[in-house]
Amino acid sequence: MASHRKSRTPGTRVAGIRTPALATAALTSVALLSQTADAAPSDDDRPSLEEVEKKVDDLYRQAESATEKYNAVKEKTTKQRKRVDTLLDDVAKRTQTLNEAREELGSFAAAQYRTGAGVPDTATFLLADSPQDFFDRDQLMDRMTGRQKAAVDDYATQQSETMEKRKEATESLATLTESQDDLKTAKATVQKKLSTARELMSKLTAEEKARLAAAEEKKREEAVRKAAELARQQAEQQEAEEEARRQQQAESGPSGTSDSSGSTSTTPSTTTGSSYAAKAEKALTFARAQIGKPYVWGATGPDSYDCSGLTQGAWKAAGVSLPRTTYDQVEAGTTVAVSQAQPGDLVFFYDDITHVGVYIGNGMMIHAPKPGTYVREESIFYDGESSIHSVVRPA
């Protein structure tokens, strides 16, 4: 299916897509993070449960965003490392060929010495900037055979190409070093945010944790209700479409009939839909098999996954290659309305497109939620309707 790319500009509205409100600003509560782990706040400056909940949620969101950036840098670093390895192998092979060519030219110089032609110094030949310079300097080119001249030309070409490849390999090594440094920075960013979130949660009392769990359960119930509502709307829509097809068939016949103008009416082809459904089923079979495996940031299986690692693996099982990050996956297909979502579609979340799940129908999806959780089925409204960024059909 053809890819239809769209703007990533936050805050815009695309027909059929629910564009979320701006994410809650986290900077207003940054002061909470300045407290050290071993300096418990007093009752006066202790943050409220609501503040802690909001901050922890935001930290997890930031960690997931940092994870996707880490994934992008890791992919770039992996490609760069492969390129460097290829270049170094090429340089090694070229150097070997160059040495062999140099030995052959050395034998020509020795032969010239034995015949007394110009009595060249073999040591001078070996130290010359190039064989061409040596032979030119000693005015031997006119006495060389065609084979000898061809060897000189070949050596000069090999030497130039080898030097160029060495330069390219050196530059690629420098780029690889920069990518590795960026990777370390991205990794440290994720770890810091997760550590801060765990620290905040560790300071909650048992009663506060129970209140948070109750609030989470209420939020989950609302998400399930919204999923059921979407499922009902989709069922009604499907029934209406089927009724329209039945009416069309009744009017024109299953194989199509000609009207008075001579045109022929036929029922819409479902070949594309059937093809997609077959691939989607393979993707969903894979995704279901991963349920219960832990979320680990940066992981692509088989024992653990992050959100985009799971969706990439699912569609790979269906023979479709998806990019590594959510930022790129959202571009890899056709955008459809939430109400038009079909099993296998990818559901993306938040303005910065930092989360993704695989739609399974009835308003539900399979996704790898966040650190400390496991791959599971959940309502696509798990974080509120406004959190849904878009739905993309990847094949």
pLDDT in tens, 273-299: 789 999 999 999 999 999 999 999 999
Strand order in the sheet with 355-361: 334-336, 388-393, 346-349, 355-361, 364-367, 376-379
Strand partners, 300: 305
Least reliable range by pLDDT among 70-74, 94-98, 111-115, 195-199? 111-115
Least reliable range by pLDDT among 114-123, 141-150, 329-338, 343-352? 114-123
- What global pTM score does this model have? 0.62
Residues designated catalytic: 307, 355, 367
The total number of residues written for the chain in this structure? 395
At residue 164, φ and ψ (nearest 5 deg) are: -65, -45
Residue 104: predicted pLDDT: 67
For residue 139, pLDDT over 70 is answered with no
Mean pLDDT confidence for 95-102: 74
Which of the two residues, 378 and 274, has the higher pLDDT score?
A: 378
Question: Both tokens of residue 279?
Answer: 């691939």
Question: Both tokens of residue 52?
Answer: 């802690």
Least reliable range by pLDDT among 63-67, 211-215, 333-337? 63-67
For residue 33, pLDDT over 60 is answered with no
Q: CA angle, 141 as apex, 136 and 146 as ends, to 5°?
A: 140
Residue 330: predicted pLDDT: 96
**Exposure letters 202-222 (e unless 16+ CB within 10 A, then b):** eebeeeeeeebeeeeeeeeee
- The 3-state DSSP class for residue 118 equals coil
- The 3-state DSSP class for residue 24 equals coil
Mean pLDDT confidence for 214-231: 92
Return the top range by mean pLDDT from 6-20, 25-39, 61-75: 61-75
Which of the two residues, 287 and 188, has the higher pLDDT score?
A: 287
> What CA–CA distance (Å, rounded) separates 80 from 82?
5
Question: Both tokens of residue 62?
Answer: 């930031």
Question: Both tokens of residue 26?
Answer: 């986290």
Closest CA relative to residue 70, chosen from 309, 297, 296: 297
> What CA–CA distance (Å, rounded) separates 134 from 124?
8
Cβ contact 91:171 at 8 Å: no
> What CA–CA distance (Å, rounded) separates 83 from 168?
10
What DSSP character marks residue 246?
H
- The 3-state DSSP class for residue 54 equals helix
Residue 289: predicted pLDDT: 97
Residues contacting residue 20 through CB under 8 Å, at least 6 positions apart:
349, 350, 351, 386, 387, 388, 389
Mean pLDDT confidence for 32-50: 51
* Residues of the chain above pLDDT 70, percent: 70
What DSSP character marks residue 268?
P
CA end-to-end span of the chain: 5
Residue 14: predicted pLDDT: 37
